[in-house]
Structures are given as structure tokens and as C-alpha cells.
Amino acid sequence: MPPADIADVPAPFTTKLTPEQMAEYRKRKVALISGITGQDGSYLAELLLSKGYTVHGIIRRSSSFNTSRLNNLYVDQHEHEARFKLHYGDLTDSTNLVYIISSVRPTEVYNLGAQSHVKVSFEMAEYTGDVDALGTLRLLDAIRTCGFEKVVRFYQASTSELYGKVVETPQSEKTPFYPRSPYGVAKMYGFWITVNYREAYGMYACNGILFNHESPRRGRTFVTRKISRAAADIHLGKQKCLYLGNLDAKRDWGHARDYVEGMWLMLQQEQPEDFVLATGETHPVREYVEKAFKHLGYDIKWRGSGTDEEGYDEKTGRVLVKVDEQYFRPAEVDLLHGNPAKAERLLGWKRKVDFDSLVKEMVLADLEASKNPIENQN
């Protein structure tokens, strides 16, 4: 026999499943979530457990506690049959991802792990590219390396930051991308490598192009949570003033719990497709500020302009909000306003929580959290 062309020799780890093995594999409901310790990861884990899935999550080794959002899901595996399991790992470590995929044998993989802060991405551009762009490739390739590309369904956490500079509004699946940050550019790679693996290898792989979504579990350095926590702390006398950057940026803000439902729906369709999830409304940062303080009895009015602008309480005259230019970004995304028509039509998805209810829930939750900071470390 002549030696086979080297290009025809399968990769060492690749084991092709037979059709019978594929059918058996797909009968299970096993999810793997990267970024499970984040806002979305925690809501998604809850949703999938409630639907009967076994849920595995990838967590990063940290010297401090990073699983506070998952506290309510943890069960002692010595006492219960655990359907929830955490694995140490990192999107920068291919070997580790292959090991996790091969041992978990997931039916659905949700890639939510990311350096997700847009402003930080300007300071850590290379790292953001490594995790958010190449990390997506590593996870897709880990699935292929294990020979599971025909049996695993893959969700990629894409973002409205892909739209960046305004080309048209409202933004839909057809709107051209124009990212405005290292984060947006890295996520653009993640978007296209997901499309590419779908087309090249027949993988069931989807992009959810999600507009901003928030909750009491939102990280504290994102603007909505920064505002809700500061409003609570100011009300309780723990903080004097809130310092913010661009007050005029507009965002399409929904509730994270609604959005993780959309992620799951995307993986339950006949064919893999990409979907926008959004509310279809847009609001400026300053409106979020006004509404948040209003819930605690303050009436914010504005005076001055640019970096001298400040927000004061009309009743007392006390200045509660100031602009600090350190929070401005080298390039800003001025306006995000999504069109969720495709998801509403094909997935039957619709956001349930409106803007006013979202602001109220976050402020009231932070008022409680600020009163009991030890129990509420999110």
C-alpha cells in the first residue's frame, strides 16, 4: 500500500462517532458553560437546571472567591446527586478545554466567557483579543478535536458592540458591523469564526447578538450597576457623589434573565442561525441616573456642560453626580437600538421586563445589598 497523503490522516485525537453513537449522545441533556461565574452564566445555569439539564461550568482559579453568583446552585456532592459541576479552566488554555470537553461530553456548549468590559479592553487589548477572539476558536476546536462537532450545539455570546459606529438604526442581523473597541473587534472575530465553523464543518453553531442586559447580578463597574449601587450608597450616607463618563450614550437595556432564555431557544431550532436579542427601545445614560435616584426620592436636574456637567437634587440642591473624564472611552459607541423582530418571529422570544421595572429592581436590590454588604457580595 502506498503511504496515505499526510493530509488524509486524521488528527490524533479525532474519533468519529457512528450514527448510532450520535443518536445515543444526543439523547442526553448536558450543558457546558464558559463564563458561568458571570451575570449571564449564573442565570443560564439556573434556567438549564430547571429544564432538567446536567450543567457543567468552567471557572477560573482565583485567590479570592469568584463563585458568589452561584451560591444558590451549589449542592454538596457528598450528600446529593449533583447535576451541577464546576471545572477549573480558562479560554486561553486549549489543552484544558479539550480535556473538559472530552470528559463532560456536552450536548450544548455556551461560550459566555470573556473579558467583557469595553473600557478595560482599551487597556488590555491583547489579552481581550486572546480570550474573546482566540478563546472562541479554542473552544470550537476543542469540540472538533474530540470528534463531537456533529453532536454538540454551540452558542457564541456575540454583542451589539459589533455595530459600534452607527450605520443604521434600529440595528438588525442585516446591519453591517463597525466595532469601536478592542473588545468589539475581538468579538467580531468570535462572530465570524462561529459562522465559519458552521459553514465549514456543518456544526450547529449560533451567534446571539445581544444588546445590553442588566440585573442585580451585573458586575459593579458596568454603568447601570455602578449607578444603582451608588444611588443606594449615597442614600444610606456611605458615598457622597457618583462620578460618571459619557451621560449621552444611548443603550437598549433589557433584563439578563429574559436574554438567557433566548440563548437556550437559539440552540433548540431545526437549523442554526444568528439572532439579535433586544428590547427595541433606547435610553441615554442620564435617564437611567434620573430614574434610579427617583426611586430613592431624589429629583435629579442637570447644569453645566461637558466635563463640568453635574446632577443635583432639586429639593436640597445637593450635587449627587459629577462627570469625570477618566470614564470616557478613546472611541465611543453613541447609540445602540436593536430590532428583535427575527427572534420574536422565529424563536417566539420577547423580553418581559421593561426599562422602568429593570431600574427599579436594580435600585431596590442594591439598597438591600448596601445594608447587608457581607451577605451580598455581588
Phi then psi for residue 358, to 5 deg, are -65, -50
> Residues for the chain: how many in total?
378
Kindly tell me which residue out of 329, 346, 360, 364 binds ligand GDR, with binding defined by CB under 6 A: 329
3-class DSSP assignment, residue 237 = coil
Convert residues 134-173 into a mask of x (bound to ligand GDR by CB under 6 A) and - (unbound). Answer: -------------------------xxx------------
What CA–CA distance (Å, rounded) separates 103 from 23? 18
285 binds, among ligand GDR, ligand NDP, none (CB under 5 to 8 A by kind): ligand GDR
Under rule CB under 6 A, residue 122 binds ligand GDR: no
Q: Which of 275, 277, 229, 223 is nearest to 250 (CA)?
A: 223
Asked if residues 278 and 262 have their Cβ atoms less than 8 Å apart, the reply is no
Going from the C-alpha of 237 to that of each of 273, 320, 370, 371, 377, the distances in angstroms are 49, 12, 10, 11, 19
CB nearer ligand NDP, residue 32 or residue 146:
32
Q: Does 337 bind ligand GDR (CB under 6 A)?
A: no
**Residue 307 found at the interface with ligand GDR (CB under 6 A):** no
Q: Which one of ligand GDR, ligand NDP, none interacts with residue 206, CB within 5 to 8 A by kind?
A: none
Place of cell 465611543: 332
Of 5-13, 89-97, 244-252, 360-368, the window that binds ligand GDR (rule: CB under 6 A) is 244-252
Cβ atoms within 10 Å, residue 117: 16
User: Taking CB under 6 A as the rule, does residue 111 contact ligand GDR?
Assistant: no
Residues engaged in binding ligand NDP (CB under 6 A): 34-35, 37-41, 58, 60, 62, 66, 90-92, 112-116, 131, 157, 159, 210, 212-213, 219
Shortest spacing between CB 206 and ligand NDP, in angstroms: 13
Extended strands (E) in the chain: 30-34, 54-59, 84-88, 108-111, 153-159, 204-210, 213-214, 242-244, 250-251, 254-255, 275-277, 283-284, 300-303, 310-313, 319-323
Q: How far is the CB of 144 from ligand NDP (least distance, A)?
A: 19
User: Does residue 116 interact with ligand GDR by CB under 6 A?
Assistant: yes
Query: Would you count residue 251 as binding ligand GDR (CB under 6 A)?
Result: yes
The span from the first CA to the last CA of the chain, in angstroms, equals: 64
Catalytic amino acids? Answer: 159, 161, 183
Cα(291)–Cα(275) distance, integer angstroms: 30
User: Which one, 60 or 83, has the nearer CB to ligand NDP?
Assistant: 60
Q: Which is nearer to ligand GDR, 97 or 276 (CB)?
A: 276
Helix H or strand E encompassing 261? helix 256-266
Nearer to ligand GDR (CB atom), residue 83 or residue 329: 329
Q: Which is nearer to ligand NDP, 133 or 289 (CB)?
A: 133
CA distance 91 to 157: 14
Binding partner selected for residue 113 from ligand GDR, ligand NDP, none, CB under the kind-specific 5 to 8 Å limit = ligand NDP
Which one of ligand NDP, ligand GDR, none is in contact with 112 (Cβ closer than 5 to 8 A by kind)?
ligand NDP
Identify which range of 72-80, 273-281, 301-309, 325-333 contacts ligand GDR by CB under 6 A: 325-333
Q: State the Cα–Cα distance between residues 247 and 303, nearest whole angstrom.
A: 13
91 binds, among ligand NDP, ligand GDR, none (CB under 5 to 8 A by kind): ligand NDP
Give the span between the Cα atoms of 173 and 243, in whole angstroms: 35
Residues in touch with ligand GDR (CB under 6 A): 116, 118-119, 159-161, 212, 221-223, 226, 244-246, 249, 251, 285, 327, 329, 332-333
